[in-house]
Structure 1
Amino acid sequence: MTDTPLRDHARYWRTPLLPGADLVTADYHEHSFAPHWHEAYTIPVIERGAECFRYRGAQHVAASGTVPVINPGEVHTGSRAVDEGWSYRVMYVPIDYLHDLAGEIAGRAQPLPWFPSEVIHDLDLAHRLSRAHRLLEADAGRRRLLDNPAAGPHPASDLLAVEGALIDALSTLLKRYARTEEAPLGPAAHVAPGAHDARVETMKALLAADLATPLRVADLAQAVGLSAFHATRLFTQATGLPPHAWRTQLRLQRALAPLREGRTVADVAAAQGFTDQSHFTRHFRRMFGVPPGRWQSE
């Protein structure tokens, strides 16, 4: 008798209680995430096993009960750290939501919250985040049943309890661990050379202007007055990815909204400048752990 191999599973979903956010409940055993970044704050809680990931120039391990927060725009990887893989719950929280919450906590406008690179070891925080995620997921399930007349009557959620748990979890994270971009992040922090260079921002803007239009490194170099070699090196040092890989990540981020709206995978792939649907699907799965059609159907 042979053991049944463990299978990867990920379910993405959304909730009106956290507008603009994506949430995921996942078990990963074989999948490895290539270097990528997200436009939102990535706030996971590891519930089983352990994940290893490269972030800010160092290798990290996040075991059960830890919270490895990733800041928006920061390149990172992800793979199993133990044979059994890892299970986690993740909130991809929009920048504006967390920024506004930080201001509400302080009672005045705040700089953008930023989190140090170290994995957070705080069982109380992990419990709060896990509880909030579970309540949001249960509420999302109830909403789907209420939208389906064939499912019959189903009790509604206690929205005060659900939203209260969400605000409690995220405000606890902010109060205990948030820093700001303007403040030092401590001696262990890794700040990429040229991270705030105006030339990098110029190249980013050019790469993002029209994602379906082909660009050459020479176009970027000319825009910032550098050689192709020096433009590529500056961009890679600042962002953690070469220009073509950074642009691919942006295309994937921009693909999410039209997928949510119900556009076909083929149409979205073409609109975002991918050579074909299979090319888009391959990159999408490497970043999100599921193919775009599966992500769209959740």
Structure 2
Amino acid sequence: MTELAGESIHFWQTPPLTGVELLSARYIEQRFVPHVHDGFVIGMIVDGAQRYRYRGADHLAPRGTLVLINPDEVHTGSKGHDQGWLYRAFYPQNTRLDSLMQELEISTCATHAFSETLYRDPDLVAGFYRLHRLLENGGEALEQQTLWREMMLTLFARHAKLRLPGDAGREPVAIAWAKELLLTHLAAPPSLEALAEAVHLSPFHFARCFRKATGLPPHAWLMQQRIARARALLREGCVPVQVATQLGFADQSHLSRQFKKVYGVGPRAYRDAGAQSPVARGR
């Protein structure tokens, strides 16, 4: 993180999403001269406000708005608030976007997909913010790659002028095979792209079919299996820290948060209650 005169800039990529550059910044006195990007800019104003000129018009993007810039279109940028603006953005390279278009089976050129630049779409902003934080804080490739595709599909479906794919099929054999692979790799699951390749589907198509078949995206389904296995291990007397390590949770607190969301009680309390039960004492 680079800091100067109250400003901060963090620019990075995460291996599961190679080809998507990421920026988290606080700008106060920064002024961007007229310039272009060779790929899309998908930005969120987290706080403050930004002024920018795009397509011959001036725009003010306040907190909670989504800013979309098409490739090769001239734009500027400066503060629209005394305290500047807090900003998070995705810069997907064209090869990454082209790959996604192929998965979506969209043959139309997406270069000028968005006719507007400023969107007030709270659900979409919240989803992209969650994704950006996930990519910043690290996490399993399965979740990162799945959420990226889900958010891009939502963006295209709501605001782009593109023909989108129809409903996902069922693909029962592929889904059953994928479940087996996930169950045998609870602690270190494959990425979405590796999983889809193993069952001979595109990542996007696989993710949609999996959700249709199970009601959950692959990473959420995997978490439910981990929690169920954690419950069984706790009932056998395993301590939470060992359970967390064995099942691939980030740490014991991660296990505790996820376990409580399902069972309403923490893993230690669950284990202790089981140890005090008549069945447990009779072992």
Which residue of structure 1 aligns with residue 33 of structure 2? 34
Alignment partner of 1:161 is 2:143: yes
**In the alignment, is the contact (CA less than 8 A) between 1:131 and 1:165 conserved in 2?**
no
Q: Which runs of 5+ in 2 are unaligned?
A: 163-283
SS of equivalent residue, structure 2 residue 156: helix
Q: Once the 2 structures are TM-superposed, how far is the Cα of residue 6 of structure 1 from its aligned partner? A: 6.1
**In the alignment, is the contact (CA less than 8 A) between 2:40 and 2:91 conserved in 1?**
yes
State which of 170, 173, 176 in structure 1 corresponds to 2:152.
Answer: 170
Alignment map for 1:121-270 (pairs within 5 Å): 121-139=120-138, 157-179=139-161
Which residue of structure 1 aligns with residue 76 of structure 2? 77
The one-character-per-residue Cα deviations of 1:141-189 (angstroms, maximum 9, x if unpaired) are xxxxxxxxxxxxxxxx222222222111122111111126xxxxxxxxx
**In the alignment, is the contact (CA less than 8 A) between 1:56 and 1:117 conserved in 2?**
no
Alpha-carbon distance between aligned partners in 1 of 2:109 and 2:102, rounded to the nearest angstrom: 8
SS of equivalent residue, structure 2 residue 68: coil
**In the alignment, is the contact (CA less than 8 A) between 2:31 and 2:78 conserved in 1?**
yes
Alpha-carbon distance between aligned partners in 1 of 2:116 and 2:25, rounded to the nearest angstrom: 22
Which residue of structure 2 aligns with residue 57 of structure 1? 56
Partner AA of 2:67 in structure 1: P
Alignment partner of 1:112 is 2:110: yes
Q: Once the 2 structures are TM-superposed, how far is the Cα of residue 39 of structure 1 from its aligned partner? A: 1.1
Partner AA of 1:51 in structure 2: Q
Q: Once the 2 structures are TM-superposed, how far is the Cα of residue 98 of structure 1 from its aligned partner? A: 2.2
Alpha-carbon distance between aligned partners in 1 of 2:155 and 2:72, rounded to the nearest angstrom: 19
Alpha-carbon RMSD across the aligned residues, in angstroms, is 1.8
Q: Which has the higher contact order (CA 8 A, sep 6+)?
A: 1
Rg larger for: 2
How many residues in Structure 1 have an aligned counterpart in Structure 2? Answer: 158
Alpha-carbon distance between aligned partners in 2 of 1:54 and 1:129, rounded to the nearest angstrom: 23
**In the alignment, is the contact (CA less than 8 A) between 2:12 and 2:23 conserved in 1?**
yes
Q: Which runs of 5+ in 1 are unaligned?
A: 140-156, 181-298
Q: Once the 2 structures are TM-superposed, how far is the Cα of residue 16 of structure 1 from its aligned partner? A: 2.0
TM-score computed with the length of structure 2 as normaliser: 0.52
Between 16-25 and 83-92, the greater mean CA deviation after superposition:
16-25
Alpha-carbon distance between aligned partners in 1 of 2:99 and 2:157, rounded to the nearest angstrom: 13
TM-score computed with the length of structure 1 as normaliser: 0.50
Alpha-carbon distance between aligned partners in 2 of 1:84 and 1:71, rounded to the nearest angstrom: 27
Which residue of structure 1 aligns with residue 65 of structure 2? 66
SS of equivalent residue, structure 2 residue 116: coil
SS of equivalent residue, structure 1 residue 17: helix
Distance 1:40 1:108, change over 3 A: closer
**In the alignment, is the contact (CA less than 8 A) between 1:46 and 1:63 conserved in 2?**
yes
